Amino acid sequence: MFNKSLKVLALLILSCETFAQSTNTLWYKQPAKHFEETLVLGNGKLGATVFGGVESDKILLNDATLWSGEPVNANMNPDAYKNVPAIREALKNEDYKLADQLQRKLQGKFSESYAPLGTMFINHANTANYSNYYRELNISQAISKVTYEINGVKYTREYFVSQPDQIMVVKLTSSQKGALTFDVKFNSLLKYKVSTPNQTLQANGYAPIKAEPNYRRVENPIVFDENKGTRFTTLAKIKNTGGSIVSTDSTLGVKGATEAIIYVSIATSFNGFDKNPATQGLNNQAIAASNLSKAFGKTFTQIKQAHLLDYQKFFNRVSLDLGKTTAPNLPTDERLRRYAKGEEDKNLEILYFQYGRYLLISSSRTMGVPANLQGIWNPFMRPPWSSNYTTNINAEENYWLAENTNLSEMHEPMMKFIKNVATTGKVTAKTFYGVNGWAVAHNSDIWAMSNPVGDFGDGDPGWANWNMGGAWLSTHLWEHYIFTKDQNFLKNEAYPLMQGAAQFCLEWLVEDKNGKLITSPSTSPENIYIAPNGYKGATMYGGTADLAMIRECFEQTIKASKILNTDAEFRAKLETALAKLYPYQIGKKGNLQEWYYDWEDAEPQHRHQSHLFGLFPGNHISPLKTPALADACRKTLEIKGDETTGWSKGWRINLWARLLDGNHAYKMIRELLNYVEPDAIRPKGMNGGGTYPNLFDAHPPFQIDGNFGGAAAYAEMLVQSDEQEIRLLPALPDVWESGSVKGICARGGFEVSLDWNEKVLKKVIISSKKGGKTTLISGNKTKAISLTAGQKMEIVW
């Protein structure tokens, strides 16, 4: 009887492990050959990309604060604003070609690029004829493992990056005493020198002072100056059990050990967006040495336990169950291929959702340095689109999941970045546009660059001249407040920045011929219209996207002003302007017009859908409040179709969720999880979005925003909210017939857990952070509730 009980217990444990592996673990039967097959780790600053090779284990290293360049001269084109009247005159005369030409005079420098710090190689002596290879990333622990066997000896590696200890740890063990022999080597695409003093591998170097975007063909795209640029230090030290530490002038290793722990410490001289990293920088060598010394004095178990305690307090806040699955527990790359053929795999869908949360925790914990286009994982000197902050969608999409998936702390680096970019943005508003407040254009970087890019006239206005980044970014301040109800944050941090963004918009608006307020000049991000005379252009007036973002900015700033009981005179100006804004227009096809006039798009299926901002991520269009506009948004999406690139698909899933169409949203989730081969082996002509073998989003190439936008959409399908109500299961697809979710956050400072069966809500558990009232809605049933701070209520629906 006792043995039978033990067997049952063992089966239960195995069953639990299999389930956990299916929903929280990426695993593979082979090492990674390509970047898009790797497993990534990070503590919000130090990033590691692990290939898991047997003969040579390659680990790409990054630091969130290592970029090319130095503090930006925001006053780079002081007379640019003097060209605005001529552009407006050209637009008044409907001379769009001239307006496009004149727009180029409102351009400045390009952004700088996120830099690859270097590569660490762990080269092994005994690698012949390995078998039983296994590689995994457990996202519930933020720990990666590799195991394999050679001649009956089992080798194990365990990797993680600790936030509390600011250290990367790699633990290597062999099942046979003395079977572990390897060397550690470092190289970099940057300027650097390696040495091995005191049995420590040490690399010191510096980033370029300039790195041109990868799409520009110019002489000397990468410029180094030994007296300029951000400095970096990488240190590695080994703690061995058995054997001995060995070194050369450029390598460090062990010989004949049974166990070895590699401690890797990284630091840069970055000291803020406005501090010269060469002359006013932090002491990167001292910081790296201090972190290494402190960590080296601790045991592996101590560091691991602190890491788990820190990481899991965020990750474990949310759990998702989508009901029974019949899918086999295959390696992740095989699961993706199977899923792409239309097979069911609910646990893969859960894994994708939680992987998005994992990536945000791992890439966004450095104040003022939010996750960039690639999070913090970049192997290239000239990464795609400079791996910068693209503020016409991508930087914002990175943070759509921060609040609703219970990771509000990960939003804070973006809050601090907005404060930085508002500083340079004040100069941009004055010198490029001749108005007060602050503005941000298409691109930014770690130096909080805010000007329109284009190299002073070389950029196409369709992407270079868009200037609504401040209005869009400011909405994140309000979102952070309304989810947390942190009134000190609203008063001291958010409102002054929101007010500045609104000030820019208020002064930038002009009257059209009918007395309505519009922007002029205006562009709709990266899209092109066809004017009545056949001209294909970007510059126009009264673009819908501009006005949608301004509406949201004004409405939120007005609300904040009322809550704080401040700035009544300015609030009145916003209210007056809001009432005078040129209204939304529905075109002849039933679509929401993107342009002031009902013009055709040069590319009807274009990836951007910026004019639908009011539906999502904005909140002023909805099927319930504005049904006609919501229907026009639906028609727009139908015209655009579902086939688009990764980040755009992530956005469209959220839009369909807001239209309360869960089945269409789910259809696109399946498409977002379409298997895409790594870039190096992807067949030519295959450019659609999807998911790489390691679950990275395929723009293509890799961009992390699709992961974040896709994960946010799950939450949007399950819970939607505003300041007055919380809608439960508003866009539940038929295939998620039964399930549960715990820990989703709602506006008003609420946290919600749900259980449902046969698509009907069964139970709600809701708690309040600061106390407040809301109305719960699901199906035809509503329930008004009032909670005190910290109170939790369970409701059988």
- Give 487-515 as a DSSP string: HHHIIIIIHHHHHHHHHHHHHHEEE-TTS
Distance of alpha carbon 416 from alpha carbon 149, whole angstroms: 48
Query: Is pLDDT of 127 > 90?
Result: no
Q: How far apart are the first and last CA of the chain?
A: 43
Dihedral in degrees, nearest 10, Cα atoms 282, 287, 289, 290:
150
Nearest to 236 by CA among 283, 269, 203, 189: 203
Rounded CA separation 603/587 (Å): 16
- Is 640 exposed, middle or buried (CB count within 10 Å of its CB: 0-12, 13-18, 19+)? buried
Q: Which H, E and C letters describe 373-440, residue by residue?
A: CCECCCCCCCCHHHHCEECCCHHHHCCHHHHHCCCHHHHHHHHHHHHHHHHHHHHHHHHHHCCCCCCC
Burial class (CB in 10 A: 0-12, 13-18, 19+), 313: exposed
What pLDDT does residue 599 have? 98
Give the pLDDT of residue 683: 78
**Which of the four pLDDT bands, split at 50, 70 and 90, describes residue 6?**
very low
pTM here is 0.96
More confident residue, 16 or 644: 644
Residue type, 5: S
Per-chain mean pLDDT for the chain: 96
Question: Which tens digit of pLDDT belongs to each residue from 463-491?
Answer: 999 999 999 999 999 999 999 999 999 99
As a whole number of angstroms, the distance between CA 617 and CA 654 comes to 8
Q: Fill in the DSSP letter of residue 583.
A: P
81: tokens are 């604003």
Residues 364, 413 contacting (CB under 8 angstroms): yes
Q: Is the peptide bond prior to 701 cis by the omega test (within 30 degrees of 0)?
A: yes
36-63 residue pLDDT tens: 999 999 999 999 999 999 999 999 999 9
Tell whether the model's pLDDT for residue 14 goes beyond 80: no
> Comparing 297 with 689, which gets the higher pLDDT?
297
CA dihedral (222, 226, 229, 234) positive or negative: positive
The encoded tokens of residue 751 equal 């946290």
pLDDT given at position 682: 83
Inform me whether the pLDDT recorded for 615 exceeds 70. Answer: yes
How many C-beta atoms surround the C-beta of residue 625 within 10 A? 11
Tens digits of residue pLDDT in 729-743: 999 999 999 999 999
What are the angstrom distances between the C-alpha of 625 and each of 94, 197, 773?
Answer: 35, 68, 20
**Calculated CA dihedral for residues 183, 189, 190, 194, nearest 10 degrees:** 20
| Mean of pLDDT values over 2-30 | 58
| Residue 244 token pair | 């001995």
Q: DSSP assignment of 249-261, as one string?
A: SSEEEEEEESEEE
Say if residues 33 and 694 touch (Cβ distance below 8 Å).
no
β-sheet bridge partners, residue 253 = 183, 246
Q: Is the pLDDT of residue 640 over 70?
A: yes
Share of the chain above pLDDT 70, in %: 97
Q: Which residues contact 375 (CB under 8 A, 6 or more apart)?
A: 40, 42, 47, 359, 362, 363, 704
% of the chain with per-residue pLDDT over 90: 95
Q: Is 508 helix (H, G, I), strand (E, B) or coil?
A: helix
Using CB atoms within 10 A of its CB, is residue 686 exposed (0-12), middle (13-18) or buried (19+)? Answer: exposed
SS3 534: coil
Average pLDDT over residues 228-237: 98
Q: What is the pLDDT, as a whole number, of residue 5?
A: 45
More confident: 436 or 18: 436
CA distance 88 to 98: 10
Q: Compute the average pLDDT of residues 757-781.
A: 97
Q: Span 509-529, mean pLDDT?
A: 98
> pLDDT digits over 312-344, tens only?
999 999 999 999 999 999 999 999 999 999 999
Question: pLDDT tens-digit profile of 556-572?
Answer: 999 999 999 999 999 99
What's the whole-number mean pLDDT along residues 427-448? 98
Model confidence at 19, in pLDDT bands (50, 70, 90)?
A: very low
pLDDT in tens, 485-503: 999 999 999 999 999 999 9
| 8 Å CB contact between 726 and 719 | yes
Residue 529 phi, psi dihedral angles, 5° rounding: -100, 165
DSSP label of 542: S
User: Residue 782 has which token pair?
Assistant: 């509503």
pLDDT tier, 258 (very low <50, low <70, confident <90, very high otherwise): very high
**Residue that is written with structure tokens 């999941």 in the block:** 401
Assess whether pLDDT exceeds 80 at residue 310.
yes
Structure tokens at 637: 């999406």
- Predicted local distance difference test score (pLDDT) of residue 685: 63
Amino acid 1: pLDDT: 43
pLDDT band at 764 (very low <50, low <70, confident <90, very high): very high
